[in-house]
Amino acid sequence: MSLNWTLSRIDDLVFFGVMTVADYLNDLASKYESSHVQVDVSGSKYSAADLLDGLSEPDKNRPVAIETGTAGCFIRDAESDQRLFQVVWSANREGWNIPNRDIKAHYYVTANFCLASLCGNVTTMLDSELIDSLPESVSPCKKCWDRKQVISEKATAAATDTKIVSVPLPSFIFSFSSVPPEVKRGLPVYESEIRGEKLERRDILVTRDGEQLKLSIDVLRAQHRAGLLAADLPVLVTTYRCETTYYCGEGTVGSVVAAWESAPLDNLDKQDVSRMIQEFSLPEYEVTSKAQYSDLKKLYARCDKYYRYIVYRDKDFKRLTKAATKDLILSLDEADSTWDSADGEKRFAEEVRKRHPELIRSEVEKKRKKEKEREAYLERELRRPLIETRNNLTNFPHKNMPIQIKDLGTITIRELKPKIRDGLVVPETLVRYREDAEWIELSEFLNDWMRRKATIKQIDYLKALQRQHGIVVDIPLDISREEISTRISALVPPRDA
């Protein structure tokens, strides 16, 4: 599955936020430089601040909705759903992004519809805030750091080559048609006719004997095939977006079911069909429509459900293969299509015992399995200190912090992992951070630090507060979370009651 194709699936997704044009433009102007982001109105580009200055008050107060996808980021009028302008990000935008938790920071560059890290492991949204240099308290990703050094000359050249041209705007008024939206059956029109390929995401209202039923397309089709819904019953198809119900076509039960059964599959659906068939060795069904695809997904879900039911009861059953699961389900379906309409898991387990007695564990096998699990548990417990130590070293916030190793001298936290791999340091090795501190085991030292010492965010916040109050006091790296919280509380201004 290609990334580009997958993201193109969300082209028509709309994410709504309760904000006005002025709110959105103010946010852009305050967070980003005009050379990094501008707005495109009918082919002309403006900075967020210039556009805001030129708008009338009614335009500034328009509620907006944000539409994102591979085609770009568009700002729509939340009431009329018309596009007002497009947000355009510079192709040369790059920088460090400080993570919101104690992990390494990555260096990002613009890559089409997202920001991609130089190491190639992480992506983030285009509107993420970037900075030129990292504070000392934040550790960088080593790959990002190395690759940034390699392409520093290219980055310097790119910084002087802005692909967005600022256009001064003395005044501006949004101009678009004021023709009211089309209305059918008392609803604004989203789709003028029924789209078979989208029926799975639509609400279907069926009128029968003066009563309106709201059904999904699968339920509608099943009830129609069972003779519960006549083909000539009227149907209204709607969708709910931005707190509004929209018209998406109308017809009859028969025409809606026909549209669903003739709707073609897209490429992702075809890949999913192939995956499901291969995973459970299902028959090579000819799946060409959305309706057939939906039927296959239901069969796959049942196979997966009963397979997992047996796997989770491994104390009583040995391993049941996925192919055997599928064969048993199809056999039961052939004998009685309603066999799992009630308490299907219990019935399936009974059939496994009946048809595959070799999969039932004897008391001796249960005892042997319990002994193996006990041995595996003891082995994990033996390895736990080493695993916890390595994990704590990975997540340790101060990689360049010196630490004293008994009989080895002083090294940095960053240098500990190679020495553990070489066998020179083990979790039981005695260490200390301060000269006057007692020697303790490395694993205990790291566990205590990760649980009790202040985080980088707390230290940076306290530093900022001290700068605001003109306080010049060093903050030790090993300050406890309780102590730093007390010092922060003393400097934070009290809230009004």
pLDDT at 176 over 60: no
Q: In which residue are the tokens 């209305």 written? A: 183
Residue 396 has what pLDDT?
93
CA distances from 17 to 21, 245, 394 (A): 11, 18, 37
Residue among 478, 460, 481, 463 nearest 396 (CA): 478
Kindly state the tokens that stand for 392. Answer: 């704590």
Burial annotation 394-414 (CB, 10 A radius, 16+ → b, else e): eebbbeeeebbbeeeeebebe
Per-residue confidence band for 166, with pLDDT thresholds at 50, 70 and 90: very low
474-483: long-range contacts, CB 8 A cutoff, minimum separation 24: 477/398, 477/401, 477/453, 478/433, 478/434, 478/449, 478/453, 479/453, 479/454, 480/452, 480/453, 480/454, 481/452, 481/453, 481/454, 481/455, 483/454
CA distances from 228 to 215, 225, 253, 259 (A): 13, 8, 11, 19
Give tens-digit pLDDT for 329-352. Answer: 999 999 998 999 888 999 999 999
* Range with lowest mean pLDDT among 184-188, 296-300, 391-395: 184-188
Per-residue confidence band for 15, with pLDDT thresholds at 50, 70 and 90: very low
pLDDT at 2 over 50: no
Q: Is the pTM of this model over 0.95?
A: no
Give tens-digit pLDDT for 109-156. Answer: 887 667 888 888 888 877 778 887 877 777 788 888 878 877 775 545
